[in-house]
Amino acid sequence: MKKRTITTIIAALTMATALTACDGIAAETISNMIEVAKESTGTGTSDTSNITPAVYTSATSSDTETDLTDLFSKRDLNQTPDLTDADIFEVADGKSYTISSEGIYIIRGTATNCTIRVEADKEAKVQLVLDGVSITNDNFPAIYVVSADKCFVTTTDSENTLTVTGKYTSEGSTNTDAVIFSKDDLVLNGTGILNINSYYGNGISGKDDIKVTGGTYNIKSAEDGIEANDSIAIYDGIFNITTNKDGLHSENDEDDTVGWIYIKDGSFNINVKSDGIQATTFLVVDGGDLVINAAEGIEATYIQINGGNIDITASDDGMNASYKSKSYTVPVIEFNGGTTVIEVGQGDTDAVDSNGNIYVNGGTISVTSTVSSFDYDGTAEYNGGTIIINGTQVDSIPQSMMGGGPGGMKGGFGGKGNWGGKMR
C-alpha cells in the first residue's frame, strides 16, 4: 500500500467531518487534526491535484483513519428487536396514527389512506416494526416522520407493502414526496420484505441521514428510489430498485459538503432511467454485488472502489467524477480493489470519465466500449490491478482519442494502450 502523505490525510479527515452523527467519532477532534495537518504542509490548503488522494481509508485496511464500522450502532445492526413491551397498532381505513413518545410499535393489518405519523421529541428513538402490513394511500406518505432523534423502520419475517398512487399533498411548507418520508435520521433494517410503490414521487426520502443494515427492499418509483439530503450508508440488504430517475441519490441543496454514499455490502439490482447511484461529495464501495442498468451508472465528485462486484450497463457514462462539490480540489475516480465491469453504448459516452484524475491501485476493471474506455481532464496513474479493454488486457490507462488511432478506426489502436475514444 502506498505511503499516505500529509496532504492525503487532510483530504481523508476533511471528509470524516461529514460523519458527525456517527457513533465513536468526535467531529471537534477530527477538525483539530485537520488544522494540525494543514499547518504541517506550510500552505493551509489540501491540494490533491498531483498526488494519489484518499477519500477515506477502507474500514478493513490496516492504516484506517476513520473506521466506518462506527457508522452503525448495535441497535442499527439488530435485525430482530425485543418486542416484549411493544405497543401494537392494527391499521384501519382513513385513520392517522400519531406516535409521540419513544418506544417500539408493531404495525399490522391492511388499510387505505392511513398514515403512521411520528412526532416525538428530538431525544426520542422510535422503532416501527412492520409485521405484515399493507397500506395504500391516495396522496400522502404511509410513514411520515416529523420529528425524532432517530426512527427505525424494521420488518419482521413477513411481507409488507406501502403504496402511494397519486400526486403528493404538501403539509404546510413540507413537500412530502415519498412513501416513507422522514425529516430526521432514518434506519431501515429487519429480516422481511418491504415493497414500496410510488406512482408520482420518491420511494424513500430522508432529510438527514439514511442507514440500511438489513432486509429486502423492492422499490418502484416515478422519481428517486432512496433519496437523502446528507448521507446514505448501507451495511447490508437486498435492493431491487426500478425508477424513472435515480436509484440511490444523496444531495443537500443548501450544503455541498455533505451528500455522500457508503456501501459496505449488500445485493443491488438497479434499473433506472437516470443515474444508478449519485452522490454530491464522495461515493465509496467496500463490498457487495451491484448490478446497475442506467443512463449513467455511478456519479459523484470522488468515487472510491475498494471491493465488491460491480456490473454497469450504461447508455451514457459508466462512472463519472464531476465537480458536484467544492470540498475537493479535483474530481477523482480511484480503484483499490473489487471487480468492476462496465459496458457503455454508442454516442458521446465514456466507460470511466473523470473531470479530474483517475487512479488504478488494485482490483479488476473490465471495459467494453467502441467509443471511449477512459477519459480524464487531469492525470491518470496505473499503480496496480488489472485493466481489460474490449477483451484485451492493457498495461496503462488510455486517454480517449477520436476514432481510436491511425486511419480513424473506431475501437482500434491509438498508440500504446489506447482503444478508441472521442476528442475531448
10 Å Cβ neighbour count for 168?
A: 22
- Which of these, 373, 376, 378, lies nearest to 392 by C-alpha position? 373
The pLDDT of residue 68 is 60
Residues near 159 by beta carbon (within 8 Å), at least 6 away in sequence: 132, 192, 193, 195
- Considering the entire predicted model, what is its pTM? 0.82
357-399 pLDDT, tens digit per residue, is 999 999 999 999 988 999 999 999 999 999 999 999 999 999 8
Are 85 and 104 in contact by the 8 Å Cβ rule? The answer is: yes
Contacts of 195 (CB under 8 A, 6+ apart): 159, 160, 161, 162, 163, 218, 219
β-pairing, 380-382 vs 216-221, is: unpaired
Per-residue pLDDT tens digits of the chain, which is 424 residues long: 333 333 333 344 344 443 333 333 333 333 433 333 333 333 333 333 322 334 544 333 322 233 565 799 999 999 999 999 999 999 999 999 999 999 999 999 999 999 999 999 999 999 999 999 999 999 999 999 999 999 999 999 999 999 999 999 999 999 999 999 999 999 999 999 999 999 999 999 999 999 999 999 999 999 999 999 999 999 999 999 999 999 999 999 999 999 999 999 999 999 999 999 999 999 999 999 999 999 999 999 999 999 999 999 999 999 999 999 988 889 999 999 999 999 998 888 999 999 999 999 999 999 999 889 999 999 999 999 999 999 999 999 998 743 333 222 232 222 222 222 222 2
Cell numbers for 164, please give them.
Answer: 402511494
Q: CB-side exposure of 98: number of CA atoms within 13 Å?
A: 6
* CA dist., res. 154 & res. 268, Å (int): 19
Residue of 123, 193, 101 whose CA lies nearest to 156: 193
Task: Give pLDDT, residue 352.
Answer: 97
Give bridge partners of residue 178 from the DSSP assignment.
Answer: 202
SS (H, E, C) the chain: CCCCCHHHHHHHHHHHHHHCCCCCCCHHHHHHHHHHHHHHHCCCCCCCCCCCCCCCCCCCCCCCCCCHHHHCCHHHHCCCCCCCCCEEEECCCCCEEEECCCEEEEEEEEEECCEEEEECCCCCEEEEEEEEEEEEECCCCCEEEEECCEEEEEECCCEEEEEECCCCCCECCECCCEEEEECCEEEEEECCEEEEEECCCEEEEECCEEEECCCEEEEEECCCCEEECCEEEECCCEEEEEECCCCEEECCCCCCCCCEEEECCCEEEEEECCEEEEECCEEEECCCEEEEEECEEEEECEEEECCCEEEEEECCCCEEECCCCCCCCCCEEEEEEEEEEEEECCCCCCCEEECCEEEEEEEEEEEECCCECEEECCCEEECCCEEEECCEEECCCCCCCHHHCHHHCCCCECCCCCEECCCC
Residue 286 · residue 58 · CB < 8 Å: yes
Q: CA–CA separation, 236 vs 349, rounded Å?
A: 31
CB 41 within 8 A of CB 319: no
Alpha-carbon distances, residue 118 vs 68, 186, 267, 386 (angstroms)? 29, 12, 30, 50
How many angstroms separate the Cα of 192 from the Cα of each of 46, 225, 226, 302, 328?
Answer: 45, 19, 18, 33, 39
